[in-house]
Amino acid sequence: MPLTDFGQAELGAYKPELTTPPDFDEFWRRTLAEARSHGGAVKAERVTARTGLRTVEVDDVRFPGWNGEPVAAWLLRPRGAAGPLPVVVTYIGYSGGRGLPTEHLFWSAAGYAQLVVDSRGQGHDTPDRTVGEGTQWAEGFMTRGIDSPENHYYRRLMTDCVRAVDAVAELPGLDTDRIVLTGGSQGGGLALAVAGLTGDRVAAVMPDVPFLCHYREGAQTSLDGPYQELVKYLRWHSRERVRPTFATLAYFDGVNFAQRATAPALFSVGLMDPVCPPRTVYAAFNHYAAEDRSMTVWPFADHAGGCGSNPPVQLAWLRERGLAPEAHV
């Protein structure tokens, strides 16, 4: 993948005009209030014995999400650690789910608790029961319910992700004052959305190569990945659907969430990313409201970003902000 986006200086100054709907805040206030009105308890079952793990405790969690529907998650933490522990809430990339507990050992090895949130309809453990509402014009999830923000898939998924933060308060041994959000690609976009919707309830957010930002630019400049679902749809419906399509997506745009986020943020970007072009990442970063924000730049990286080099950067950044767990012997 050649370097085809703006240069570093242009990216640093790239701050496109906002496309925030006038009822954006009311839409999300109403959406979350409706979800919370369904109630429902958070349930956790200890399943460590099934995993063969000796240094990590694993709970199979269910918490109420959109419409009160149960959302699956894994809770992992160092065995024998004295709580309350800082907790890293992790959202998953496009077309993936929570997978197996053995895929998520990094944060518990570093002394944190980790809540790994399944993605409805993408993972195997949380179906998208509302899939029949609205319309879908292409494979994948980008055009599912694209006819209106009320019906769009990401309204349901982002609600689930906020409710995961709500669930932290009901899980024993977790420090609600030290909630960190993270994820890569779609997971990074979801982390941004939750940061914008939960305010000071979140201590830090770390979106890696975030998707779901600056949709129109993503559709027009990406060379691969889910933004191409929008391209395929609009190729056949361009005359009548361009404006309403991006009007719907504005309710789920990371740029609009970023300007409402107050937690310290550590972004990352690959300058040769064909899936999430760097300008879409910088659009969110440059509009991010908190003064404490920084960008880890991987100059020759594609959508994989910094790969194994990125977690040590995140650990150091959290440590600098007093969000490291206490030493555990």
- Helix, strand, coil shares, percent, the chain, to 5: 40, 20, 40
Placement of tokens 């496009």 in the chain: 94
Note whether 134 and 245 are within 8 A (CB).
no
The two structure tokens encoding residue 230: 């929008």
At 152, the amino acid letter reads H
Neighbours of 131 (CB within 10 A): 15
> Could you tell me the two tokens for 240?
């009548």
Catalytic (active site) residue 119? no
Order of strands, edge to edge, in the sheet holding 43-46?
43-46, 56-64, 70-78, 113-117, 85-91, 174-184, 204-208, 265-270, 293-298
Known catalytic residue at 273: yes
Catalytic residue selected from 108, 185, 222, 268? 185
Catalytic residue among 104, 214, 287, 303: 303
From 118, 160, 208, 273, the catalytic residue: 273
Whether 294 sits among the annotated catalytic residues: the reply is no
Distance CA 152, CA 155 (A): 6
Are the CB atoms for 149 and 134 separated by under 8 Å? no
Residue positions annotated with a catalytic role: 185, 273, 303
